[in-house]
Amino acid sequence: MGILKNFGLYIVASIAATVLPYLALQYWSGIAYRGFMSFDILVLSIVFVAFRYHQGKLRLALLCFCFLGGILSIGWDWENLYQESFDFAYWVESFRESWKGIFVLILAFLLQIGSCIFVVSRAKPVGAAAAILFILGLVIMHNVMYAINSTIPILEFPALEQMETYSKNQFKDTRNELSKETQTAFPDNKSQAVSLKHLDAARTDVIILLESWGVPMDVKRMQSEFAFFNSLPHVYSGLQKNDSSRTAFAERASFGNAMNALRVHEFESIYLFGGSDSLHERFRYIPAMGFQKIFFGKDLNGDSCPYAQPGICDKNVAAKIDSLLSEVTLNSADSTHKIIAWTTLATHFPMKNSSTYYNSLQQTQSLIISLAKKHPEVRFIVLGDHEPLLCSKAFRTAFYRKWVPFVVLN
């Protein structure tokens, strides 16, 4: 039982070192795809405890090496998280609303250090053979689980991630800037504030943020996604650079700009989202935008879909929008136009694989096309909120960072 207790303590330290910073960034709606056990901390903890009870000339040097290695690993892990999921623009905006986030980050760091110190002070050495078999077993289990479901890894490797990041920094990061081929294929690639630029104050407007609709680095893939809308007249498409890879940031920018622009025209404003109002704390910032009517999943009738974030199916939200637009048609004598804002849910990650993502994306796009065909008198502006994030690194890196496509229909 003693050896199991010791391995249990090592596991606790490795989990605390990895999960606490992730939870802290979740306070800021941070998104990260990562394992829940730090391989570095696990190995260094075992080695530290082993030499803590070892007498020899190299004892002090090895203890210092493990201690400094642990500090470096924790620091690298924070930096990896920052690079991967923490947008400065979103952080600044969030800090204006709440100072508590700073306290959360500091508390997480202190708990992270404290948990590691507690474990190495309580744990006892384990045999070299047992330690090697234990670590090898975890690595094998990690690889097997990763092969089965790549969205849920077991181990996190901060040092290896840092080395990978460093090696990439020696070259130009091709994900931050559009390639010449992409720029040539999509000439309108410098648009900003698309929802504001293409609003039509003379009629009803529907602005749709398509969850996780990013710009693939494969030009042909992007062309095929735009071609999906070719059955509609007056299609205008392009690419937009976002300041942040966050749905909340995209909603504030796209919906907020449109609301401010049309406020003087006395538009009736409506917001719809099939998920929970607590996701990204929408119950706070959506009403603050000034929407007259707000519909979350709890306010809508329809089937509950087993998305990554459970909620009312996109098809039911689309049906609700159809009924709202039909009211405008039936009451044509009423001069009041509507501005309808909808954030979709079906393509929210994590998902099993890329095929599931593309199938869900096309299904939601088909719903939008059906709405635009049925209501040709309505202007539809469709754009992504951010590139796919909570997915395997191989899939995520197939998309440009902070670039989203957009189409303007009717």
Q: Residue 100: what pLDDT?
A: 61
Average pLDDT over residues 122-126: 80
Supply the mean pLDDT for the chain.
78
Q: Is residue 241 pLDDT above 80, yes or no?
A: yes
- 367: confidence class by pLDDT, cuts 50, 70, 90: very high
Instruction: Read off the pLDDT of residues 370-388 as tens digits, 9 standing for 90 and up.
Output: 999 999 889 999 988 888 8
Q: Which of 96-105, 175-184, 251-260, 279-288 has the lowest mean pLDDT?
A: 96-105
- 344: confidence class by pLDDT, cuts 50, 70, 90: very high
Instruction: Read off the pLDDT of residues 168-209 as tens digits, 9 standing for 90 and up.
Output: 554 455 777 888 888 888 887 776 667 677 888 888 889 999
In three-state form (DSSP H/G/I as H, E/B as E, the rest C), the secondary structure along the chain is: CHHHHHHHHHHHHHHHHHHHHHHHHHCCCCCCCCCCEEHHHHHHHHHHHHHHCCCCCCHHHHHHHHHHHHHHHHHHHHHHHHHHHCCHHHHHHHHHHCCHHHHHHHHHHHHHHHHHHHHHHHCCCCCHHHHHHHHHHHHHHHHHHHHHCCCCCCEECHHHHHHHHHHHHCCCCCCCCCCHHHHHHCCCCCECCHHHHCCCCCCCEEEEEECCCCCECCHHHHHHHHHCCCCCCCCEEEEEECCCCCHHHHHHHHHHHHHHHHHHHCCEEEEEECCCCCHHHHHHHHHHCCCCEEECHHHCCCCEECCCCCEECHHHHHHHHHHHHHHHHHCCCCCCCEEEEEECCCCCCCCCCHHHHHHHHHHHHHHHHHHHHHCCCCEEEEEECCCCCCCCHHHHCCECCCEEEEEEEC
What is the CATH number assigned to the segment(s) 180-409?
3.40.720.10
Average pLDDT over residues 384-400: 82
What gap in Å lies between CA 8 and CA 5, rounded to an integer?
5
Q: Is residue 30 pLDDT above 50, yes or no?
A: no
Token output for 157? 């490797």
What gap in Å lies between CA 149 and CA 146, rounded to an integer?
5
Question: In terms of pLDDT, which residue wins out, 4 or 274?
Answer: 274
Instruction: Read off the pLDDT of residues 262-293 as tens digits, 9 standing for 90 and up.
Output: 776 778 889 999 988 888 778 888 888 888 89
Residue 407 phi, psi dihedral angles, 5° rounding: -135, 145
Domain positions in the chain? 2-169, 180-409
Question: In terms of pLDDT, which residue wins out, 264 or 101?
Answer: 264
Residues whose CB is less than 8 angstroms from the CB of residue 384 and which lie 6 or more positions away in sequence, other chains included? 209, 210, 212, 213, 214, 215, 250, 404, 405, 406
Q: Residue 342: what pLDDT?
A: 93
Q: Are 275 and 255 in contact (CB under 8 A)?
A: no
Could you tell me which of 224, 253, 251, 252 has the C-alpha nearest to residue 237?
224
